[in-house]
């Protein structure tokens, strides 16, 4: 097993512990565990490239681990701390992501998860969740910034989809 896979798997293991810590009012511990898990998201890609071994499951496993880390934390925060804006934003993003994956997969002829600069997006999503965990009073400002960055990625994905669909158009005189 590669180091990248161990780091990726650690996010899946950390997710239910973070949820339990949030509901147990141990928000400091949840905050630090979430931060450590977010750091593994950066490190797993580094170690994957360092090993110079290409795997077919790597990107899918990474995306799955991100999903298991982010969404249970968001739902827990919405229930426990009335962070419903965060939940709404997360649900909108997942619906959009499913639409993008579906359109790209349909065009490419198989299941495909696009990986367009998601580290930058994660750099905004993770801190947003973290400030909600510690119930920071300015969390809405961080959420607004994350929304704007997410909007940038929505536009980027839409353009990417347009590009792959335009490439496949037959030339009809």
So what's the pLDDT on residue 123? 65
pLDDT single digits (tens) 25-74: 998 899 999 989 988 987 887 888 787 776 767 767 887 888 888 888 88
Q: Give pLDDT, residue 19.
A: 94
Average pLDDT over residues 148-171: 74
pTM of the model: 0.69
Q: Is the pLDDT of residue 113 over 70?
A: no
CA distances to 20, 39, 131, 146, 170 from 126, rounded to whole Å, are 18, 10, 9, 9, 42
Predicted confidence at residue 10, as pLDDT, reads: 95
Residue-wise pLDDT tens digits, 114-129: 555 555 556 667 777 8
Say yes or no to pLDDT of 93 above 80.
no
Fold of 3-167: 1.20.120
Q: What's the rounded mean pLDDT across residues 14-29?
A: 93
The radius of gyration of the chain's CA atoms, rounded to the nearest angstrom, is: 18
Of 86 and 65, the structure prediction assigns the larger pLDDT to 65
Give the pLDDT confidence score for residue 14 in this predicted structure: 96
Q: In the 8-state DSSP scheme, what is residue 23?
A: H
Asked if 128 and 29 touch (Cβ cutoff 8 Å), the reply is: no
């Amino acid at each position: 097993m590669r180091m990248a896979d161990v780091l990726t798997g650690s996010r899946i293991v950390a997710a239910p512990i973070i949820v339990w810590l949030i509901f147990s009012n141990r928000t400091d511990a949840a905050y630090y565990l979430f931060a450590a898990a977010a750091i593994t998201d950066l490190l797993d890609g580094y170690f994957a490239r360092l090993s110079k071994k290409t795997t077919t499951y790597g990107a899918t496993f990474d995306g799955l681990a991100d999903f298991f880390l982010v969404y249970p934390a968001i739902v827990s925060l919405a229930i426990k701390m009335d962070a419903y804006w965060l939940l709404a934003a997360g649900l909108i993003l997942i619906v959009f992501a499913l639409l993008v994956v579906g359109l790209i997969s349909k065009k490419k002829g198989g299941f495909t998860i696009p990986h367009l600069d998601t580290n930058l997006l994660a750099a905004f999503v993770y801190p947003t969740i973290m400030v909600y965990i510690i119930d920071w009073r300015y969390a809405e400002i961080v959420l607004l910034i994350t929304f704007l960055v997410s909007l940038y990625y929505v536009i980027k994905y839409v353009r990417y989809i347009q590009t792959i669909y335009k490439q496949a158009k037959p030339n009809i005189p």
